[in-house]
Amino acid sequence: MSVFDGLKFRRVVSPIHMLDPRIKFFYVCAIFVVAIIFWELLPLIVLFLAQIPFVLLARVQKEWIRSLRGAAFLASIIFATNLIFRFIYAGYVLTAQDLEYASAMTFRFVVLVESFSIFFLTTSPDHLGLALEQSHIPYEFCFAFTTAVRFVPVLAEEAQTIMDAQKARGLELEKGNFLKRIRNYIPILIPLIISAIRRSLELAEAMESRAWGAIKKRTNLYVLKIRRADYLLILISILILAISVYIRFYIPIPLLSDFLKL
């Protein structure tokens, strides 16, 4: 659950929050691409550290650390599977390089989580909807998307209440073997799904009673504009991309394990 905590928007006034979500998304995509084109540990660590100024500037460090902590479990699985496969592939020997490779893959995942977490922590759902709309995506889809984002915390709270209600009737979630434990969640999932469906129908009625879709061409109270800071971020993203591509093709990246031996 804490992974989702790290994706929940916090209303803070900061230069990062003011940025155009489209540009921020472009930046996240750039980081994404860079993380994919490197498989060495060194550049991935640099990439990881390069994001920290953004986090500090946006003043979301607490939530950001929480999202990283939430990702720790998946990260350790990635580390373990990579290590095991390298181990088997190399004929049951473990070298420092294998260790480095596994850590690099883990860091790649962490970088992806980190950049997405920055994006979602600093972009309000309203802005996200606006950005989608101004990217000429049909309004129905934008609305569906923002509504889905909007209802995640509501659903999480409801799930907690349902869990409490069933626990009060003697349900023990952690009891029994693996299959039994999965079955234990049925009394929670059914009320949750039913209430979600019921809520969506109610929402549809409420929207229609407020003349949703009466006018084909909608206007917005707020319009996203690309400002100077946004151009700066575009520049930074393009620079990061260009430098990374250059390094990838023309500069050999030293392995950290070799580096330490010298």
Partner 1 sequence: MIEVKDVHFAYPNGIEALKGISLTIKEGEFIAIMGQNGAGKTTLIKHFNGLLKPTKGDVLVDGINTKETSVAKLARNVGFVFQNPDNQLFCETVEEEVAFALKNFGFEESTWKKRVTWALNLLGLAEYRKTSPFMLSGGERKRVALASVLAWDPKVVVMDEPTIGQDYEQKEKLRQFIVQLNTQGKTVVVVTHDVEFVAECNPRVILMAEGKIVADGIGKKVLTDVTGLAQASIVPPQITKIFMELKDFEMATDVIDLYEAREILLRRLGEK
61 is a site residue for partner 1 (CB under 8 A)? no
Q: How far is the CB of 150 from partner 1 (least distance, A)?
A: 18
186 is a site residue for partner 1 (CB under 8 A)? yes
- Name the segment binding partner 1 (CB under 8 A); options: 35-43, 46-54, 137-145, 189-197: 189-197
Q: What is the pattern of x (binds partner 1, CB under 8 A) and - over residues 131-160?
A: ---------------------------x--
177 is a site residue for partner 1 (CB under 8 A)? no
How many residues are there in the chain?
Answer: 262
Q: What is the pattern of x (binds partner 1, CB under 8 A) and - over residues 155-174?
A: ---x--xx-xxxxxxxxx--
- Name the segment binding partner 1 (CB under 8 A); options: 6-14, 15-23, 183-191, 209-217: 183-191
In the block, tokens 């883990």 appear at: 106
Q: How far is the CB of 71 from partner 1 (least distance, A)?
A: 19
Query: Which residues of the shown chain bind partner 1 in the complex (CB under 8 A)?
Result: 158, 161-162, 164-172, 186-187, 190-191, 194-195, 198
